[in-house]
Amino acid sequence: ELIALMEGAATCEDLLGGGLKGEALDRAVAAAQERGWLPRSEEKFNPTRVAQKILEGMRFVTHRDSETIFIYNQGVYEPWGEQAIREAVRRELGEDATEHKVNEVVAAIRETTYRAPHEFHSPDPYLVCVENGILDLRTGELMPHSPDYLLLNKIPVPYDPSAECPEIDRFLEQVCPDPKDRQTLLEFFGYCLFRSYPIQKALMLVGEGATGKSTTLNLLRALLGRENVSSRSLQELSHDRFAKADLFGKLANIFPDLPSAGIVDTSVFKALTGGDLIKAERKFQHPFYFVNYAKLIFSANQIPYARDMSDAYFRRWIIIPFPNKFEGPNCDPYILRKLTTKRELSGLLNRIVQAVRPVLERGSFTDQPSTEKIREEYLRRSDPVAYFVQTCLLPDPEGAILKRTMYQAFQAFCRETKCVPVSEVTFNRRILDFVSLTEVRLRVEGVGRARVWVGAAFNPDVVRSVEMAGSVEGRRVAVAYGSVEPPSGGEPELPMEGNFLFDRLDRDDRVFSTLSQSRPSSAPSHARDADFPKELEKPGQAGQAGQEPPMKSNAELGVEDRPEGGSEGGPHLGSDLSKTAETSDRPPTTTPMKGNFAETPMKGDDGPPAFPGPGIVGRITDVARALVILRGHFLETELLDEVEKAGLRRGDGAYWLERALQEGEVMEISTGVYTLV
């Protein structure tokens, strides 16, 4: 008590009524220990007192939902607060610092620094913390750092109004030659600085490899700071419930080289770009809510196909092509190092601040196309093979095109439409997902014996000056063309009964509603892979990856080899199917086959019959193959994922195909061949 009076830790009134108590006692004990009159080992631990001492030298705020503690550091609050507190407690307590005591101090500081979630996204979004102060996007004014602004992001670049970026200017002119696209790119870079999402747009850079897409994204990442950028793919954001949490407190989510796997659910994407309240989770932690302001930015060789055909999805995209390839002597391996100097980045900061100011004032980016144009561009770049089939081919049972000529026309079509072409092996495999073609070997005049696709002809309005040649077998074959000229007004209007691709807008939901249901207990238990003949497997699936589809002989197709003179004889490829079946060695097929055909194995002695007639035709073995055709051009891997979600094995396809029959999606079933309505 004497020590307390001497040190001013207590007054005479404090000593009345039973002596020192509470905080007065704590202050007296602390004073005695400071003078060495009382050993520290006898000190009574008080977590509040230790917390107060730490708070005298540090500034913390705690997010109430996530319980993340942020520490103020040179203009910005960083999410390493708990780690900083633990280190400070151990320094303060020394050998007496047990895990229990450290946790108590952390809890005490967390309790006194809670902030409501809305306070983390309500600070003025126009204020940007840069290396040398706080920049106001509206006026360009630079203010000193202050802990009064609850800012979570700091740009690791100084603001210098006089800085230029000649190297970055030159680079962007090379990779993005269109001035309008380049302006939009700078505007979107500046939009990343704005900590709100009023303009519901995401950015997609599209082009082949070595076109500068990844370098551009790495440049933006260097400007914003790696700690201010998350990296989740569009697919992860759609399917991984923990992915959204990575975007909290970030300025951008940048993911290069998106996989081509399709997007089934776009609701998360629309919520992240729409200013909605997002529920996020981290493993083994409490869920929390936040409003996202991280701008979504991706690049891709081929845009992933999306099931969502709504305006709400397509209008959110800004698609910027990167058309120029940089290889060999045109490729500078040190280009990123030249672009990311302090001076260059400071100049880029000036560029994007100037570019985004009018965007925020008017609420839109410069020269944006209509939603219909964006939809067309997205679909064109998400599946060039489907786009080629719908634009350049017409159904024709008697039509025949050299395989190599077909692929050459596809390459020319991609050049004209600025699509990213796929390899010839991939093209020859993928085209069978959209059109019933049969590969045969014919003796073509002026060419010799060659591989030919039978079942389609070039659209004369698009593929001009087609050169035809006769064959020994009596068939006219397209062997060359003059030019490929896609219509400027968009895709041609083809009649439904003659179009290889059915209307995705009308059929998507019906097909997927069948897929997404779990298998009822009444489903046949014996519908397994054994029910389907191996010869019905998708071409190229049974062999090695990238293998060419197997050739069919004329005998297998019901076509008799003719002598060199070209004399008549035997059924030809355009004959009536019933007559073909009767005159061949194959037993007659059953068509149509309604009801529970899962109990009737779809087998044939020689595999499927030829079916060159008009309409959408496909060979099936199980649910994966059937639904590839049913979906038009949805990726097979995604369909397999849907099957797995429903708890099915691949061989359960007979049951699900019957369900499709009942939904009216399939018109005929005949020994593994079906035709869509």
Give dist(CA 112, CA 102) in Å, integer.
Answer: 16
For position 628, what pLDDT does the model report? 38
Last residue of a domain, one of 326, 357, 378: 378
DSSP tag of 133: E
Is position 17 within any domain? no
Give dist(CA 498, CA 113) in Å, integer.
Answer: 68
| 422 and 368 housed in the same domain | no
Helix and strand numbers (H, E) in the chain are 24, 24
Residue-wise pLDDT for 51-75, tens only, equals 999 999 999 999 988 899 999 999 9
Looking at the structure of the chain, the number of domains it has is: 3
Is position 19 within any domain? no
Is position 47 within any domain? no
| 219 and 357 housed in the same domain | yes
| 580 and 624 housed in the same domain | yes
Residue 575 structural domain? 504-559+567-676
SS3 call for 48: helix
| 534 and 671 housed in the same domain | yes
Residue-wise pLDDT for 174-184, tens only, equals 999 999 999 99
| 525 and 573 housed in the same domain | yes
| 338 and 207 housed in the same domain | yes
* Mean per-residue pLDDT, 243-253: 95
| 425 and 527 housed in the same domain | no
* Mean per-residue pLDDT, 32-45: 65
Whether the CB-CB separation of 632 and 434 falls below 8 Å is answered with yes
| 459 and 527 housed in the same domain | no
Is position 362 within any domain? yes
Asked if pLDDT for residue 561 goes beyond 60, the answer is no
Asked if pLDDT for residue 550 goes beyond 50, the answer is no
| 581 and 606 housed in the same domain | yes
Residue-wise pLDDT for 642-667, tens only, equals 444 444 433 444 444 444 444 444 43
| 253 and 352 housed in the same domain | yes
Lowest mean pLDDT among 158-172, 181-195, 509-523: 509-523
Give residue 498's pLDDT band: very low, low, confident or very high (50, 70, 90).
very low
| 193 and 337 housed in the same domain | yes
The answer to whether the predicted template modeling score (pTM) of the entire model surpasses 0.85 is no
For position 514, what pLDDT does the model report? 32
| 259 and 235 housed in the same domain | yes
Token representation of residue 504: 């995705």
Whether the CB-CB separation of 353 and 275 falls below 8 Å is answered with no
Give dist(CA 173, CA 167) in Å, integer.
Answer: 10
Is position 286 within any domain? yes
SS3 call for 253: strand
More confidently predicted of 490 and 206? 206
Burial of 17 (0-12, 13-18, 19+ CB in 10 A): exposed
CATH assignment at residue 396? 1.10.10.10
CATH assignment at residue 280? 3.40.50.300
Is position 154 within any domain? no
User: Going by DSSP bridges, is the β-strand pair 252-255/229-230 parallel, antiparallel, or unpaired?
Assistant: parallel
Contacts of 446 (CB under 8 A, 6+ apart): 469, 479
